[in-house]
Structure 1
Amino acid sequence: MNNYLLSSLCLLAINSAQADDTAPSLMLPAASITAPEVDAEHTDLKTATSAGSRLNLNSLETPASVESLSGERVRARGDRNVQEAVTRTTGITSNGNPGNGGSSYSARGFVGAGSVMQLYDGIRMYSGAGTVTFPVDDWSVERIDVLRGPASVLYGEGATGAVINVIPKKPFSGEIENRIRVGYGTDDTRQQALDSGGSLTDTLSYRLAINHTQSNGWIDHGDSENTYISAALRWQARDDLAFTLSHDYGDQQPQNDFGVPLINGRYHKSLRDKQYNVRDAKLHYNDQWTRLNSEWQINDNLVARNELYYLKAQRRWQNAENHAWDENRQTLLRSGYFSIKHQQEQVGDRQTFTLNHDLMGLNSKTLVGVDYNRIHFDLHSNAPYDDVVDGGEPIDRYHPDRGEFVSHSPYRDQFKTTTQQVSLFAENRTELSDQLSLVTGVRRDIVHLDRDDLIDHTRTDRSLSANSWKVGLVYELTPDMSVYAQQATSVDGVAGLISLYPTEQGFDMARARQTEIGVKQMFWDQRGEWTLAAYHIVKKDLLTPDPNNPNVSLQVGEQSSDGLEASLEMQLPNRWQLQANASVVRAEYDTFDDGGVSRKGNRPTDVPRRTANLWLSKTLTDELNAGAGVRYVDARYADTANTVELPSYTVVDASVSWKALPKTTLGLRLNNLFNRQYAISQYNSGQQWIMGEPRSFFVTADYTF
């Protein structure tokens, strides 16, 4: 970290010299292609969204449920990471745990990386073994865009519940601006951060964001340390041509916590801060993303864009993950000594052309494009995970002996895969009249997977293909109000596409279709806005065990969901601001057998029926702002039989910021104000609860120059 700080200080010194009043001012030429504005503090229904369309449509023009959240709002609320920010949006909850990289969501009744897709700057890293570990940091976020409902027509396989696109801070033109943050809080939590950007010359601009955090953690031996770097350089080669080179780096060693074990099926508050993992446990994620984007305004009506990228992820687990209570022996048993490593590399390119044109005398806009990805994935582990002590090692639940990692199974190479994916896609918006527009899209995906088993030296391969489409109508009742209806389809893999086992390769992808209607309006001279959406989704071809042979799977399962989602945002008198949202979903298995028992009518695991968020803030003076928020998540089941339940929870957070000096701002955030004990998610079929953090505070000081 010392190297990062040294390089940051050097860059700040250079930037300060360039930003000196005696330096010549930088006058940029007018251009058809311009750098994005720096960190817009406000988004509304007329803000162009990246998640719902590639046609640069805003929410009022999009026949889908979309939402945008600015990075400034995320940081003002005191959200500590991307996951906390995303789960303040409508109807999305977290079910993250160390086994899935801590970054997994539930949306519209569908759960996990295979159904809720995560993008970084519009790019998807294919999920290996259901694990997503990037992005997490919110310091480098410019905006978060969310599209709820099927979106395979835009992004391919794995997008039935929602798509979350995290957009990093971008280079901007103008005088160089720098911000330094230092922070300190509960459990010796520390932060050092830098944000710097502006013009280097009349054609070059940059952005650099660095964030380093450390904490002793709120559980025993819960240390964590994370470093994030986001850097981008933009070159305006000509008025009609621009290139942006970006590199993002994340190194995470999060708090290693596999949850609190239930004792006789019940949660015990006295165990919340206990650590049952071994002394030499490992939890380490390293992610790197390099991208070269180009944008060429060929003429007044045609734009070509290209995104060339290289993504690399290395993940390492070595833990005793299972802590189960043995009722007969009245003791806690530690087992599940798993040692796993993922190595993943992805090279890809996306080329699109966007054309404004007439279609039979009607104004129309069409985008056509092609995607290509080549992904290498290697898995190393100690499978079949034979523990030294059959049934588990007895440990004291109050004073556990940490011990060392040990397993009868050797750590070795398991398999490697090479996946090639290519897709052709198109999207169109045609204005049928002054008020009515039609938005359509089609996509064809072709995937080929080669798998080498490094244990028995066998090789398997499989080709998969899928078609997706969407069609939607938007009627503009007024310039500030629209209603819409749409149908969209999606496809999901039966498991992580790049890590399918031979027994899974014989199955086709699961398919889903959604019908949605909604209304969106800005009102009160655009000081308020509200949205309402209703949807019905059916997903077919899920894997379910054969009732006559549980070791064999059949692709006959079906799941459906119906729901309502609403949001409200208002700029109230006396400088009050209100943001609120709520959702209700009825999700169930229509056809699903588990161990020969039908689960028809049961709710899928990790899906709450109701969620709600509220944030109320006030500008007390020109220098002082305060806000508080409530987050509510209904009870969820941890098993398909619906016998193990995680209780509902309500958590209150608050934040205050004070501009103490013209260039210095002090902040205070208070999390879990009433110190509620609640389970965010679960592990080991609900026998271990991943708990929310106790009451904590964090103080920050920001200096700009």
Structure 2
Amino acid sequence: MNPQFGNACERSPVNEILRKAIFVALTTTWSSGDLAAEEVQEESGAAEAGIVRPDVKQSPDVQSEEILPTVSVVGRKETKAIDPVDGYVVKKSLSGSKTDTPLIEVPQSVSIINKDEFAARTAQSITQAVAYTPGVVTGMFGPSTRDDYFNLRGFEGTQYLDGTRLMSSSSSYAQLRVDPYGMERIEILRGPSSVLYGQNAPGGLVNMMSKRPTAIPFHEVQFLGGSYDRVQGSLDLSGPVAGRDDLLYRLVALGRGSDTQVDFVEDNRYYVAPSFTWKPSDATTFTFLSHYQKDETGNAMQFLPYEGTVLGNPNGRIPTSRFLGEPDFDGYDREQFAVGYAFEHRFNQIFTARQNLRYANIESDYRGIYPDYFYGFNYDTGRLIPRASFVDSQMRSINRYGAQYKDNTDTFTLDNQAQADFVTGSIAHTALVGVDYRHFSAERLRGFTDFELPELVLDIYNPVYGKPFARPVLDSGTDQEQDQIGVYAQDQIKWNHWIATIGIRHDWVSASTRSNGSVEVPQEDEAFTYRTGLSYLFDSGVAPYYSYSESFEPSVGTTFAGVPFKPTTGQQHEFGIKYQPRGYNALLTAAFFHLIQQNVLTADPEPTHAGYSIQTGEARSQGVELEGKATLDMGLNMAASYTYTDTKVTQSNIGSEFGNNLTYTPEHQAALWLDYTHQLGDFRGLGLGGGLRYAAGNYGDLSNSQKTPGYVLVDAAVHYDLGQLHHSMEGMRLGVNMSNLLDHEYFTTCYGGSCFYGDRRSVLASLRYNW
């Protein structure tokens, strides 16, 4: 027994981490550029050629079609979907069409969370950044320090970065996770989207857009600290290089040291993202994007027993801070980097070519001691066996086993696009054709301890750590490779107030899996998918629409037994209404959907198969999503949402699953966030924010035997512009954010006899300086 480990949580010092964070923040400020006004030149070539640009003709942002030789504008102006936007309302998106299209014209449900919104809530992860978004379930496994998880319309949400996919494998823990501080916005495209993006789950995708260099100089330094000894420093520097208007730079960096709500689990990170944009002419833009990130964390996802969390236990409820691993063994270390570029060249007023490329490498080392509830759950019936999860009649002690995974993944993505904007008679076209390619490889080494080792039995109500045990030996492995090529075409057709969107695509996929030196298991798939949509734009700003879309996804990987997954397919009908009120910076949307997927991929409920998945037959999801966002001149920002999702297993090889709900999907969700800043008087610059989040209970397994209770969470914020006190502090902002203000104990989900607590109360104070 090691006496240094006892009942109490011993917090590790963070002074060294603090010094590193401050060093990063202070030593890179040399990159600040010269202050300059941005000049935006409006082109007149389209009028001279007799061509009506569709985006000019239909965009509600355009107030006049008068052609002027040159217009000088001071400050930022939203001209493209990738440009920075102030406030919560973003009116253009690349995700819904891969073209510069206003959201109101996209015949599909799209939500955009701008950096101003998630920064106002001091989001520390992408999971927290999208917490107020309809149709999205996040944090299913509690406060994860390893990955972000998304559930969209009942299915896994695929993750993208700058329009190309973050490839992953269900049998690899080396998955790229981005920090929200490096993101300009997060775009969520709901529903099947294979026509534009190839292989995808039918629920939708989460596209994270990186911060890019800006023509107007921008500088920010921020320090943050609070709950769980969190100390964080970050900086964001951007502008022209040496006063040149053809070369722009941006440097984003962050360093932090932190504990978590779980004993002995840290959350340390170092992140740097340099980028530059080269504009040799008005027609050509080349933007280099890169980042490096190192995470030194542990396993905050604790597989706590159902009896003692949701269900009662004679010994009481297990505390949310309880750690079931071994402090001197458990840990998760990840090192990742990505490099790529976004290139665009406009040949003339009709033709434009684009190319997006990225290479990413991730290495991870995941070590953990996990509870073994093998005897406490009947996987044939999907039912809990009372008291059998414990090894003693007092229901205090559990079996544990150890595992270690060393993973390495490489991803190369390439998307080539050619766009033509032209008119035929009175019909305007935005035609897009493209070819994209992906290559993904994953290598894994793994090892396990013996099961039911006496030295790993733990009293979860009075844990004593440090008993010696035989460490896992990395004696088995899995190698995977996947190549995909897709050819797609889309036309956005405008006539009067009508907009028709038609897209087609064909995919070819080859994949192979080899486990423990066995014979290679190949997978060859191809599919044709299409999307159609029709919208009508009323002069009032109302735009009803209908769309049909499909998905196709060859699932790279195998079950725990080494059997390759079958590809999934999905089909969706969606009706919706979008409303952009004239004279107000607001956007209201409503979507009604009916979605079916075959070969559903879900987490393997077997506790000893952690990290693996299984497939069922067919599932259906239908419901409604409502969202409203506004940024008003009176100083009020608002984000509101409501979601109703009705899911069912419509086909299954397991009779007890038929007709049941899908996993991790609450029937009802609602959220409201308000942030008001005083504009006049003695309290000018003082802001107050508050929010409510509600989620009904959800099932963690398809047998629907374990359900978590619903919950309501309260968030709050207060901030003040210190420049209102004295001109010498202009640009400084002090804020305090409180997440789960009432410190409500709740559960995110339960499956396989295990349950996961949600985030406890967190209080973070921040000091930000912009110049």
User: If the length of structure 2 is used for normalisation, what is the TM-score?
Assistant: 0.82
1:292 paired residue among 341, 350, 362:
341
Q: Aligned match of 2:662 in 599, 604, 611?
A: 604
- 1:146 match: 188
The correspondence for 1:89, drawn from 114, 133, 136, is 133
Structure 2 residue 536 is matched with structure 1 residue 475: yes
Can you list the C-alpha shifts for 1:561-593, whole angstroms capped at 9, x where unaligned? 110111123457954443211010110001113
Q: How many Å separate the matches in 1 of 2:145 and 2:742?
A: 29
Aligned with 2:164: secondary structure? coil
| Number of matched pairs | 675
Residue 729 (structure 2) pairs with residue 668 (structure 1): no
- Alpha-carbon deviation of 1:400? 1.3
The correspondence of residues 242-281 of structure 1 with structure 2, limited to 5 A, is 242-259=285-302, 260-263=304-307, 266=311, 268-279=316-327, 280-281=329-330
Q: Distance in 2 between matches of 1:142 and 1:586?
A: 33
Aligned: 1:639 with 2:701: yes
**Corresponding residue for residue 98 of structure 2:** 54
Does residue 1:68 correspond to 2:112, yes or no?
yes
Q: Residues 448 and 571 from structure 1, CA distance in 2 versus in 1: closer, same or farther, beyond 3 angstroms? A: closer
Structure 2 CA distance for partners of 1:526 and 1:14, relative to 1, 3 Å: closer
Residue 691 (str. 1) matches residue 749 (str. 2): no
Q: 1:240 aligns with which of 270, 274, 283?
A: 283
1:677 counterpart letter in structure 2:
E
Give the superposition deviation at 1:648: 1.0
Of stretches 153-162 and 2-11 in structure 1, the one that deviates more from structure 2 is 2-11
CA contact (8 A) 2:550 2:572 kept: yes
1:370 alignment counterpart: 435
Alpha-carbon displacement from aligned partner over 1:94-151 (angstroms, at most 9, x marks no partner): 12469994311111122x3xxx111111121211126574334221121111111111
Tell me the secondary structure at the aligned position of residue 40 of structure 1: coil
Structure 1 residues 117 and 100, CA, compared in 2 at 3 Å: closer, same or farther? Answer: farther
The one-character-per-residue Cα deviations of 1:269-308 (angstroms, maximum 9, x if unpaired) are: 4421111111211212222111122111111111111122
Q: 1:311 aligned to 2:355?
A: no
The aligned amino acid for 1:473 is L
Q: Is the 8 A contact 2:185 2:208 kept in 1?
A: yes
The alignment status of 1:342 with 2:407, answered yes or no, reads: yes
Q: Aligned letter for 1:13?
A: W
Taking a change above 3 Å as real, the CA distance of residues 315 and 699 of structure 1, as seen in their structure-2 partners, is same
CA contact (8 A) 1:98 1:256 kept: no
One-letter code of the match for 1:211? Answer: L
Looking at structure 2, the residues matched to 686 and 695 of structure 1 have their Cα atoms a distance apart, in angstroms, of 27
CA contact (8 A) 1:226 1:253 kept: yes
Alpha-carbon spacing, 1:243–1:274, altered in 2? closer, same or farther (3 Å): same
**For the Cα contact (< 8 Å) 1:191–1:211, is it kept in 2?**
yes
Residue 162 (structure 1) aligned with residue 226 (structure 2): no
Residue type matched to 1:172 in 2?
Answer: T
Q: In structure 1, list runs of 5 or more residues that go unmatched.
A: 545-552
Cα separation, partners in 2 of 1:132 and 1:359, compared to 1, 3 Å: farther
The 8 Å contact of residues 649 and 660 in structure 2, kept in 1 or not, is answered as yes
Partner in structure 2 of residue 399 of structure 1:
462
* Pairing of 1:189-208 with structure 2 (within 5 A): 189-200=230-241, 201-208=244-251
Match for residue 125 of structure 1 among 166, 178, 185: 166
Residues 439 and 473, structure 1, Cα contact 8 Å, conserved in 2: yes
The counterpart of 2:150, out of the listed 87, 105, 123, is 105
Partners of 2:295 and 2:615 lie apart in 1 by 37
1:19 aligns to 2:61 (yes or no): no
Opposite residue 265 of structure 2, the aligned amino acid is G
Separation in structure 2 between the aligned mates of residue 34 and residue 206 of structure 1, nearest angstrom: 19
Tell me how far 1:187 sits from its aligned partner.
1.9
Q: Give yes or no for contact 1:377–1:498 (8 Å, CA) kept in 2.
A: no
> SS where residue 153 of structure 1 aligns?
helix
Q: Which amino acid aligns with 2:732?
A: T
Q: Which residue in the other structure is 2:253 paired with?
A: 210
- 1:158/1:491 contact within 8 Å kept: yes
> CA, structure 1 residues 406+235, in 2 after alignment: closer, same or farther (shift >3 Å)?
farther
Check 1:31–1:306 CA distance in 2 against 1; reply closer, same or farther (3 A cut).
Answer: farther
SS class of match (2:510): strand
Shift of the 450–173 alpha-carbon distance from structure 1 to 2, 3 Å rule, reads: same
Tell me if 1:183 matches 2:224: yes
Larger mean CA deviation between 200-209 and 215-224 belongs to: 215-224
Among candidates 451, 468, 485, match of residue 546 of structure 2: 485
Which residue number corresponds to residue 5 of structure 2? none
Residue from 498, 519, 527 that aligns with 1:436: 498
Question: What amino acid is aligned across from residue 651 of structure 2 in structure 1?
Answer: T
**Residues 502, 426 of structure 1: alpha-carbon distance in 2 compared, 3 angstrom cutoff:** farther
Is the partner of 1:468 in helix, strand or coil? strand
User: Of the candidates 609, 620, 626, which is equivalent to residue 688 of structure 2?
Assistant: 626
**CA separation of 1:39 and 1:543: change in aligned 2, threshold 3 A:** closer
Q: How much has 1:342 moved relative to structure 2? A: 1.6
Q: Closer, same or farther in 2 for the Cα pair 1:44/1:480, shift >3 Å?
A: farther
Contact 2:456–2:469 under 8 Å retained in 1: no
Distance verdict in 2 for CA 1:241–1:571, change over 3 Å? closer
CA contact (8 A) 2:625 2:642 kept: yes
1:128 to 1:626, Cα distance in 2 relative to 1, 3 A: same
Partner residue of 2:65?
none
Cα offset for 1:388? 4.7
Q: Are residues 578 and 26 of structure 1, via their aligned partners in 2, closer, same or farther at CA, if it must alter by over 3 Å?
A: closer
1:152–1:62 CA distance, 2 compared to 1 (3 A): same
Offset at 1:171?
A: 0.2
1:556 and 1:671 map into 2 onto residues whose CA distance is: 37
Task: Please state which structure has a larger fraction of its residues in strand.
Answer: 1
Letter of the 2:532 partner, please give it.
Answer: V
Shift, 1:458, TM fit: 2.1
Q: 1:366–1:292: structure 2 CA closer, same or farther, 3 Å change rule? A: same
The letter of the residue matching 2:168 is: S
Correspondence for 1:422: 485
User: Which residue of the partner structure matches residue 616 of structure 1?
Assistant: 674
* SS state at 1:60 partner: helix
What code does the residue aligned with 2:359 have? Y
- The 3-state SS of whatever aligns with 2:165 is coil
**Inter-CA distance 155–73: structure 2 relative to 1 (3 Å threshold):** same
1:533–1:565 Cα contact (<8 Å) kept: yes
Conserved in 2, the CA contact under 8 Å of 1:186 and 1:696? Answer: yes
Structure 1 residues 361 and 577: CA distance shift in structure 2, 3 A: closer
What SS does structure 1 have at the residue aligned with 2:462? Answer: coil
- Structure 1 residue 542: deviation in Å? 4.3
What CA distance in whole angstroms lies between the structure 2 residues aligned with 1:654 and 1:142? 23
- Cα distance in 1 for residues equivalent to 2:345 and 2:145: 39
Instruction: Tell whether the 8 Å contact from 2:559 to 2:614 is kept in structure 1 after alignment.
Output: no
User: Which amino acid letter does the alignment assign opposite residue 300 of structure 2?
Assistant: D
1:543 to 1:234, Cα distance in 2 relative to 1, 3 A? closer
Distance in 1 separating the partners of 2:39 and 2:226: 42
Alignment deviations for residues 217-276 of structure 1 (CA, whole Å, 9 cap, x no partner) = 222212220122222111112221121111112222345223233336626544211111
Please state if 1:447 is matched with 2:496.
no
The residue aligned with 1:548 is: none
Query: Which residue of structure 2 lines up, in the alignment, with residue 586 of structure 1?
Result: 646
Q: Over aligned residues, Cα RMSD in angstroms? A: 2.9
Q: Give the AA of the match of 1:124.
A: R
Superposed CA deviations along residues 52-74 of structure 1, whole A, max 9, x for unmatched, are: 11122121101011111110111
Alpha-carbon spacing, 1:576–1:360, altered in 2? closer, same or farther (3 Å): closer
Question: What TM-score, normalized to structure 1?
Answer: 0.89
Structure 2 CA distance for partners of 1:504 and 1:157, relative to 1, 3 Å = farther
Q: Please state whether the residue corresponding to 1:645 is helix, strand or coil.
A: coil
In 2, distance between residues paired with 1:189 and 1:489? 44
SS in 2 for 1:643: coil
